[in-house]
Amino acid sequence: MLEGKKFFIQTFGCQMNLNDSEHVASLLLQEGAHQADTPEKCEIILINTCAVREKSVEKLFSYLGRLKEHKANRGSIIVCLGCVAQLYREKLLSKFPYLDLVVGPAQYQELPLLLSDSFRQRAAITRWTKGWVELPIMAVVRESQVSAYITIMEGCNNFCTFCVVPFTRGREKYRPLSAIQEEARQLAESGFLEIQLLGQNVNSYRDPESGAGLAELLKKISEINQIQWIRFLTSHPRNFSFEMALAMASSPKVCHQLHLPVQSGSNQVLARMNRNYSREDYLEKISWLKSLMPDISLSTDIIVGFPGETDDDFQQTLELVDQVQYTNIFSFRYSPRPLTRAASFKDDVPAEVKIERLIELQKRQKEIQLKVNGEMLGQKQKVLALGQSKKGNLYTGRNEAYQVVNFSSRRELTPGFVEVKIVGGGAYSLKGEAVC
């Protein structure tokens, strides 16, 4: 149906969006289409989107605006996929009359038909599905040839008041453990060394066939000999148990690295966010992790300027950041999202205060990262080399802590593990030399 046609995918968002784009590319390749690196001369342009932050939606609208001339000159089919497609639907078709299709995350398997010559109508197709939909994925479309994403679940049942995920991805659906194992096995046979298990709330994972949880899944993946590193994200603190910390610590293949979003260090703000844990609960989990894995690297998400956040609430967040000593944080100014409960709250923190708090938080975290990275000077670390760096004649990769390491080598390297001596770096990356 799509034999010989060229397509281009532009992805905005997180690892889940990237993995979704890999699945979409696989679907089209199976129909005889060809993937291109740029949208020029492509008959099909797909934009995969994230709706978690307002800024992501603005990026999409800006990108779609630039495609108007391309549509007029070439007549390409333009498709909006993903979370923004699910959330805005008719608004997208109305605002961008040259947009052909709006397709939600649960309808990707229908894309080949929707793009075929037998189906030609503008439409927004965003129906929900209750069960897991298994989609193909080819090694050739993977972003990396040594590190691979595997989606294990989708959706969220927590309904944090600021979060749009339950309205874009739906309620939690779990992929069968047997299918996850098979994909991991095939990746190992193709030379992949690292697996990253993905989901909006991975700690709630339950195999629909046996009821096995994430700890059992980690054990099963660890039994695949060729796989050397295993990661998982994202974890909701509410669902992260002591048993999960033990499972991480007991497996030599599970990286001592965890992304555990705290969002705020204030109990008052956490309650308004409906996070269902307290500051004390969160810090107890951090204590488990550090006692079991003293070398663990931790990252988090933080929102500043949430409705009702006072100066004291913000100071509590800064104090928590100081106490935990994160390797990295992802920080954002609060923006109300459609359909969420917080959208009905009075957005009473002025924009200039949000900006000031974000700058102060990021400055504090930069100081921590400089200190943490400085302590690594002289260390020899195992690094998963991913390819050539954009910074001069260097290679780039990530260490177990998921930090970027740019390093030199006296010999030519292919993607894979290499020992690197850390010789420098700044707040956001490390600099090293391959130990030959």
Domain annotation covers residue 357: yes
Nearest to 329 by CA among 288, 364, 283: 364
Q: Are residues 231 and 313 in the same domain?
A: yes
Measured CA to CA, the distance from residue 89 to residue 69 in angstroms comes to 22
Region of 353 please: left (phi>0), alpha (psi -120 to 50) or beta. alpha
Which CATH number belongs to the domain containing residue 74 in this structure? 3.40.50.12160
Q: What is the mean pLDDT of residues 148-176?
A: 95
Q: What is the mean pLDDT of residues 22-39?
A: 95
Final residue belonging to a domain, choices 90, 125, 160: 125
Measured CA to CA, the distance from residue 159 to residue 172 in angstroms comes to 11
E strand or H helix at 7, and its extent? Answer: strand 6-11
Which CATH number belongs to the domain containing residue 327 in this structure? 3.80.30.20
Q: Are residues 236 and 277 in the same domain?
A: yes
Q: What is the mean pLDDT of residues 53-73?
A: 85
Measured CA to CA, the distance from residue 92 to residue 88 in angstroms comes to 6
Measured CA to CA, the distance from residue 199 to residue 234 in angstroms comes to 6
pLDDT at res. 32: 94
pLDDT at res. 229: 98
Measured CA to CA, the distance from residue 28 to residue 5 in angstroms comes to 9
Region of 425 please: left (phi>0), alpha (psi -120 to 50) or beta. left
- What is the tally of structural domains in the chain? 3
Q: Tell me how many helices (H) and strands (E) the chain has.
A: 13, 19
Q: Is the pLDDT of residue 143 over 60?
A: yes
E strand or H helix at 370, and its extent? Answer: helix 351-374
Expressed as residue numbers, the domain containing 388 is 380-434
pLDDT at res. 119: 59
Unique residue bearing structure tokens 């309904």? 159
Q: What is the pLDDT of residues 358-378, one digit of tens each?
A: 999 999 999 999 999 999 999
Q: Are residues 205 and 99 in the same domain?
A: no
**127 pLDDT band (50/70/90 cuts)?**
confident
Q: What is the mean pLDDT of residues 423-433?
A: 96
User: Percent of the chain beyond pLDDT 90?
Assistant: 83
Domain annotation covers residue 1: no
Q: What is the pLDDT of residues 247-291, one digit of tens each?
A: 999 999 999 999 999 999 999 999 999 999 999 999 999 999 999
Domain annotation covers residue 340: yes
Q: What is the pLDDT of residues 365-420, one digit of tens each?
A: 999 999 999 999 999 999 999 999 987 789 999 999 999 999 999 999 999 999 99
Question: Strand pairing partners for 147?
Answer: 194
Tell me if residue 72 falls in helix, strand or coil.
Answer: helix
Residues 6+ apart with CB under 8 A from 269: 263, 306, 308, 309, 313
Q: What is the mean pLDDT of residues 301-329?
A: 98
Q: Is the pLDDT of residue 299 over 80?
A: yes
Residues 6+ apart with CB under 8 A from 390: 396
Q: Are residues 362 and 418 in the same domain?
A: no
185 vs 125, more confident: 185
Domain annotation covers residue 132: no
Q: What mean pLDDT value characterizes the chain? A: 94
Q: What is the pLDDT of residues 67-90, one digit of tens each?
A: 988 887 788 999 999 999 999 988
Q: Are residues 114 and 148 in the same domain?
A: no
pLDDT at res. 116: 84
Domain annotation covers residue 133: no
Q: Are residues 213 and 325 in the same domain?
A: yes
pLDDT at res. 58: 86
Q: Are residues 417 and 356 in the same domain?
A: no
Q: Is the pLDDT of residue 142 over 70?
A: yes
Measured CA to CA, the distance from residue 304 to residue 263 in angstroms comes to 8
Domain annotation covers residue 134: no
